[in-house]
Structures are given as structure tokens and as C-alpha cells.
């Protein structure tokens, strides 16, 4: 309990420090004489485009969850799946290494009647395709804009390569876990018995039985996805749209500040490179790495006298706005009455109805 308390305090402190650091950078920059004036001159159309990108990012993740759960026979609404998405993004951004997002999503889906194994497989599939899309898009854009990428980020290519390796590592790892059900079952049993030996888990045999059922649901639902090529394609396309929407924010910030001289696709390339090289930082929202990386990667793209403001606007849309909206969504959800479970149609029945149709 104390550890959880201190973890929350640390996460809050890191977020507040990152906010303070960005404000200090903006309002004490020697190159920037009038920060408020630059902020007031922002083009509202492109600012709305930035916010629209954030909305597409969140709703695309909700759409991916919705598509997976419907494949498993759960008649979930897109709005409900997007609520799970909001919760996951919010808790991922306030916990170190994004560790709090998926557990909270599993908890919320389980409250609505989705078994833990199904919820975990849905989130695993989304994570798999997001990482795959992130790395592939980074590599493709890097190759297509090689000369510009070398000029802009040549001094940190090692960090970008390391980021690609770390992010791509999860792709074969998910496949390995999916193909080795016995290994997963042994690991679950070991964890439960370890906790029981240290008096952290009661009725271990009952927990093991429930754990085996969750593992069975997890593997069956992932194999369902493999046996539906169209669903595989849908999930991948959703991930490409989701990641690209997030990476387009610096492009629209560039236009909002009235900047010119760099094509949008080159800015998009740098945005992907920044994300892939900073995302593995073990701090809430990759704080520090994201801010420092932005100033380093986008120097020369944004004029020096507007770069700090670009950092503030970009970070607000991609991080602080997420915290505000996510917190609001959680408060709104807690004030509403308990919602009924999501209707579930057995897969056999679903298949029969499709055949009859």
C-alpha cells in the first residue's frame, strides 16, 4: 500500500516537474522575446487540427478494441470501447513505463462482463499492431527521407535504432507467448504459488483454476484473430491511422505557427523518430526524453524564436490534454450508475447466424 502511495507521489511529481520545465523553457528562452504574443498568433484552424488528431488517436484505439471484442461475440459499442481507450491512455501516462494502462483496462472490461483472458488478448493484439505499425512506419519514412533524416538526426541515429529494436522486440515476444500456452500456464502457476508462499494470495488452487481459464480464453481469442485475415488487416490499418494521427500533431503545430520551408512528410518522419527513440523511457509519459528530444530533433525545422512555443503546444496536445480529458472521463464514469454487462453472443451462435444470412 505504501509502495503504491509513493509510486503515485513520484508519478505526480514527475508530471509537475515536466510541466514546470516546459514553462521555464518557453518563458525564459533567450531567442523568444514575446511568448504570449507567439501563442496569441497561433492559427486556430491548425490548432483545431491538432486536437482532431488527438481525437482520432483515441477513437482509433477504441475502434480497434471494439473490432476485436465484436469478433469474440461481445456487442460492445464504439463509445464504450473508446472509454476503455481513454482509461488506458490516461493511466499509462501517469504511471512509470506505462504500466498502469492495460491493468486498468482489463479491470474496466471485466466489470462489464468481459473475461480477463479475452480483455488481455484484445489489449495484447492492439499493443502488437501498434508496435508493428510504429516500427514499420518509422523505418519506411526513414528510408524514403534518408538524406533529410541523416541531416536532422544523424547525431542520435543510435538512439533511434535502439528505439526501433526495443519497440519491435515486443512483436516476436507476443508471438512466442501466443504459441507457448504451456509456458504461460507454468508461469501463471509459479506466480500464484509464489504469492501464496509469502501469504499474499489466499486460496491458491482456486486462483490457479481461474488463471488457467483466463490463459485458455487468451490463447483462443488470439488464434481466432489469426484465423480471420480480414480482422488482421483491419487491426493493422487502425494502428497505422492511430499512430499517424499522433505523429501529425507536430506537422499541424508547424503550420499553426506560420512556419514554412520543410515538407509535411519530413516533419512526420522526425515525429516518428522522436517517438520511437523516447517511448521506452521509464517515466510517466516519457517525460524529459520527449521534451528534450523535441528540442533536439526539431531544431532547424522550427525557427529558434518559436521552437519553445512549438514544444509547449505539441506537449499540451499529446500529453497534458490527455491527462485532462482522461481525468475528466474517469470522474464522469465514477459519477454514473453501474452499467450493465456487455451482451455476449457465443461464437458458435455468431457463426451460425452468419451462415444463415
DSSP assignment string, 50-68? HHHHHHHHHHHHHHHHHHH
Residue corresponding to grid cell 502457476? 189
In sequence order, the 6+-apart residues with CB closer than 8 A to the CB of 308 are 25, 26, 29, 31, 32, 35, 295
pTM (two decimals): 0.79
Alpha helices of the chain — where are they, by DSSP H?
A: 2-27, 35-40, 44-71, 78-93, 101-111, 116-144, 146-153, 157-179, 181-197, 204-226, 229-247, 249-256, 264-278, 289-297, 307-315, 321-335, 347-356
Rounded mean pLDDT, 123-141: 90
Query: Given this model, what pLDDT does residue 141 score?
Result: 93
* Nearest Cα to Cα of residue 96 among 283, 286, 291, 285: 283
What's the chain's average pLDDT?
78
pLDDT greater than 50 at residue 176 = yes
Query: Given this model, what pLDDT does residue 337 score?
Result: 59
Q: For 236-280, write each residue's pLDDT tens digit.
A: 999 999 999 999 999 999 999 999 889 999 999 999 998 888 776
SS3 category, 202: coil
Q: What is the DSSP letter of 100?
A: T
Amino acid at each position: 500500500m505504501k509502495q503504491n502511495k509513493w509510486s503515485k507521489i513520484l508519478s505526480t511529481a514527475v508530471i509537475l516537474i515536466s510541466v514546470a520545465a516546459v514553462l521555464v523553457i518557453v518563458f525564459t528562452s533567450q531567442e523568444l522575446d514575446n511568448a504570449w504574443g507567439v501563442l496569441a498568433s497561433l492559427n486556430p484552424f491548425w490548432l483545431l487540427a491538432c486536437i482532431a488528431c488527438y481525437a482520432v488517436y483515441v477513437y482509433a484505439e477504441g475502434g480497434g478494441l471494439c473490432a476485436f471484442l465484436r469478433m469474440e461475440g461481445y456487442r460492445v459499442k464504439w463509445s464504450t470501447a473508446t472509454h476503455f481507450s481513454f482509461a488506458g491512455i490516461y493511466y499509462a501516462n501517469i504511471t512509470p513505463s506505462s504500466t498502469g494502462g492495460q491493468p486498468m483496462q482489463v479491470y474496466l472490461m471485466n466489470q462489464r462482463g468481459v473475461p480477463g483472458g479475452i480483455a488481455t488478448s484484445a489489449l495484447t493484439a492492439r499493443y502488437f499492431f501498434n508496435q508493428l505499425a510504429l516500427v514499420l512506419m518509422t523505418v519506411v519514412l526513414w528510408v524514403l527521407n534518408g538524406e533529410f533524416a541523416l541531416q536532422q538526426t544523424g547525431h542520435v541515429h543510435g538512439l533511434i535504432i535502439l528505439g526501433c529494436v526495443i519497440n519491435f522486440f515486443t512483436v516476436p515476444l507476443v508471438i512466442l507467448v501466443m504459441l507457448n500456452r504451456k509456458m504461460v500456464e507454468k508461469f501463471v502457476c509459479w506466480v500464484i504459488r509464489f504469492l501464496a508462499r509469502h501469504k499474499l494470495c489466499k486460496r491458491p488452487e482456486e486462483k490457479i483454476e481461474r488463471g488457467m481459464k483466463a490463459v485458455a480464453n487468451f490463447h483462443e481469442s488470439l488464434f481466432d484473430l489469426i484465423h480471420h485475415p480480414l480482422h488482421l488487416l483491419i487491426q493493422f490499418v487502425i494502428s497505422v491511422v492511430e499512430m499517424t494521427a499522433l505523429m501529425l500533431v507536430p506537422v499541424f503545430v508547424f503550420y499553426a505557427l506560420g512556419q514554412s520551408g520543410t515538407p509535411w512528410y519530413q516533419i512526420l518522419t522526425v515525429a516518428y523518430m522522436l517517438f520511437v527513440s523516447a517511448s521506452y523511457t521509464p517515466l510517466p509519459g516519457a517525460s524529459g526524453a520527449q521534451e528534450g528530444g523535441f528540442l533536439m530533433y526539431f531544431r532547424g525545422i522550427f525557427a529558434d524564436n518559436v521552437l519553445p512555443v512549438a514544444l509547449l503546444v505539441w506537449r499540451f496536445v499529446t500529453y497534458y490534454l490527455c491527462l485532462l480529458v482522461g481525468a475528466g472521463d474517469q470522474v464522469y464514469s465514477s459519477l454514473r450508475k453501474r452499467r450493465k454487462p456487455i451482451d455476449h453472443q457465443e461464437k458458435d451462435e455468431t457463426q451460425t447466424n452468419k451462415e444463415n444470412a
